[in-house]
Amino acid sequence: MKTLLQSAVIAILLTITLSSCYVMSFDVGQGAKLGVSESKKNHYLILGLVPLSTANVKEMSRGATDYSVTIEHSFLDGLINSFTGGIYSPNTVTIVR
């Protein structure tokens, strides 16, 4: 009974901590035309409440009027977040021109 309870607790904790992979995408103007991409990391503290540094999307687009933006919290970002207990929370911004 004790091992069943421990297994259930571990499964629930893993489900809660590793289920936060997400992707948010949107187009500016007509969307990507050339297929040239650039990625940068956003760095946050305390579960994303305190930004340390964020990617400047306008600078990354290099003056393009049509581009696509993808903001992703990948498995690796979630793993880092889990290991630090939510103190450090990165995510990745990708611009496709």
User: Each residue of 56-89: pLDDT tens digit?
Assistant: 888 888 888 888 999 988 878 888 888 888 889 8
Amino acid 83: pLDDT: 87
For position 23, what pLDDT does the model report? 81
Q: What is the pLDDT of residue 19?
A: 58
Task: Give the separation between CA 33 and CA 61, rounded to whole angstroms.
Answer: 12
The whole-number pLDDT of residue 43 equals: 92
